[in-house]
Amino acid sequence: MQGRHRAPLKPLCQRRVSSCGACCGLYNSVDHSAPTLRRLLDRRTDALAGLPRTPEAFRAAASRLSAEGEEPVFPSVRVCPLLGWVDQARKRVGCLAHPAVTGGPDLRDCGAYDALICGSFLCPSHAWLTEEEAELVDEVCGDAHLYGLVVTDVPFVRAVLAALASLAGGRVEKRHLARPGLREALRDLFALKEELEPGSEGLFGAFRPDAQGEPVPRRIDYEAAGRESSPFDAILTCIGADPRSGNDLDRIEGEVRRRLAACARVLP
Ligand code: SF4
Ligand code: SF4
Residue percentage of the chain with pLDDT more than 70: 87
Mean pLDDT of all residues in 218-229: 84
Name the residue with the closest Cα to ligand 1, atom 8.
1
CB atoms within 10 A of CB 12: 24
pLDDT band at residue 205 under the 50/70/90 scheme: low
Do residues 208 and 41 make contact, with C-beta atoms less than 8 angstroms apart?
A: no
CA separation for the pair 20, 129 (Å, rounded) = 15
Give residues (CB < 6 A) around ligand 2.
Answer: 2-3, 12-13, 20-23, 121-123, 125, 148, 151-152
Do residues 70 and 43 make contact, with C-beta atoms less than 8 angstroms apart?
A: no
Q: What local confidence, expressed as pLDDT, does residue 116 receive?
A: 97
- Residues with Cβ < 8 Å from 22, sequence gap 6 or more? 123, 148, 149, 151, 152
Letter for the amino acid at 260? L
CB atoms within 10 A of CB 82: 24
CA 191, distance to chain mean position in Å, is: 11
* SS3 assignment, position 83: strand
* Candidate from 14, 78, 83, 122 with most ligand 1 atoms within 8 A of CB, to mutate: 83
CA 230, distance to chain mean position in Å, is: 25
Mean pLDDT of all residues in 76-105: 96
pTM (global) more than 0.75: yes
Alpha-carbon Rg of the chain, whole angstroms? Answer: 19
pLDDT band at residue 245 under the 50/70/90 scheme: low
Query: What's the burial of 261, exposed, middle or buried (CB within 10 Å: 0-12/13-18/19+)?
Result: exposed
Q: By mean pLDDT, which of 24-28, 166-170, 243-247, 264-268 is the weakest?
A: 243-247
Q: What local confidence, expressed as pLDDT, does residue 177 receive?
A: 95
